Amino acid sequence: MSEKQFAVALDGPSGAGKSTLAKAIAAKLRILYVDTGAIYRSIGCYAFQNGIDGKDAPAVTAALPHIHIEVRYGDDGLQHMILNGTDVTKEIRLPEVSLYASQVSAIPAVRAFLLQMQRDMAAKNSVIMDGRDIGTVVLPDAKVKIYLDASAEVRARRREKELAERGTPKPYEEVLREVNERDWADMHREIAPLRPADDAIMVDTSDVDFEGALSLLLDVIRGRLAD
Ligand code: DC
């Protein structure tokens, strides 16, 4: 890693705004944005496409040697996920794949399989990497660690809006229940549970809009980098 190179670890629950903010921050700071959720989603996608139960740890573990995952950056600057030679960037966003991703991400062999790949990306580039365990496990020495949060209600409203815009609306109560279930699963799994690193800066986006959150995060990052 060169002296000027740095890593920003951005963790937090789904719907806190991590990916939208990380993308904008990466563009502003001219660094690489790594969406680690997309990497877990690619494993979930393989299980889904091959009829493997995402909760069946031995079956998913046995499949790992058959899975080749590549992260490519298109001319659009966006992260594309290549699963065994096929671009699955769109497929990994299917709701079924979200469920599989959550299930496979609780399997220790899956996390071990992906750990080095994530570290290699941060070793070669200045990155802002978003996920659940970036500050605690993947990049414990990251120069900047941020834990981005928002209330479950605010995150459920954002998700409800997103689903409606996508043409697949769902009642708010159902979305809120799913948000709470996913939080619980991510925070209570045995391996790499979602939690802030001891040295993470806590940022809550419940009451700020995108521009407000972006300038807050840029201030936090620039402040830490200047230390
Ligand atoms: O951020 P996301 O919703 O795209 O993540 C998909 C799933 O992967 C989610 O259930 C949490 C899991 N995940 C994880 O366990 N560790 C990460 N570093 C990133 C995502």
Whether 2 maps to a domain, the answer reads no
Whether 117 maps to a domain, the answer reads yes
**Pocket of ligand 1 contains residue 131 by CB under 6 Å:** yes
Locate 109 and state its tokens. Answer: 């062999």
Which atom number of ligand 1 is nearest to the Cα of residue 185?
10
**Pocket of ligand 1 contains residue 40 by CB under 6 Å:** yes
pTM of the model: 0.93
CA 44 to ligand 1 center in whole angstroms: 10
The stretches in the chain having pLDDT less than 70 are 1-3
Instruction: Write out the E strands in 32-166.
Output: 32-35, 69-73, 79-83, 86-87, 127-131, 144-149
Whether 140 maps to a domain, the answer reads yes
Whether 94 maps to a domain, the answer reads yes
Nearest to 104 by CA among 179, 184, 14, 185: 185
Whether 1 maps to a domain, the answer reads no
**Pocket of ligand 1 contains residue 11 by CB under 6 Å:** no
Whether 192 maps to a domain, the answer reads yes
At residue 33, the pLDDT reads 96
Q: Considering the chain, what is the average pLDDT of its residues? A: 94
The residue contributing the CA closest to ligand 1 atom 6 is 37
Locate 196 and state its tokens. Answer: 């802030």
**Pocket of ligand 1 contains residue 102 by CB under 6 Å:** yes
Whether 203 maps to a domain, the answer reads yes
At residue 192, the pLDDT reads 87
**Pocket of ligand 1 contains residue 159 by CB under 6 Å:** no
Whether 12 maps to a domain, the answer reads yes
Cα–Cα distance list, 181 to 99, 156, 184, 187 (Å) = 11, 12, 5, 10
Cα–Cα distance list, 73 to 33, 54, 80, 94, 120 (Å) = 10, 28, 6, 21, 15
Query: Backbone phi, then psi, for 195, in 5-degree steps?
Result: -160, 155
At residue 149, the pLDDT reads 96
For residue 121, give the 3-state DSSP assignment: helix
CA 227 to ligand 1 center in whole angstroms: 30
At residue 77, the pLDDT reads 76
**Pocket of ligand 1 contains residue 37 by CB under 6 Å:** yes
Structural domain including 65 reads 7-226
Nearest to 100 by CA among 53, 159, 38: 53
The CATH number linked to 57 is 3.40.50.300
Cα–Cα distance list, 26 to 44, 116, 130, 205, 221 (Å) = 26, 22, 11, 19, 11
At residue 76, the pLDDT reads 76
The preferred substitution site among 43, 48, 105 for testing ligand 1, maximizing ligand atoms within 8 Å of CB, is 105
Counting the structural domains of the chain, the total is 1
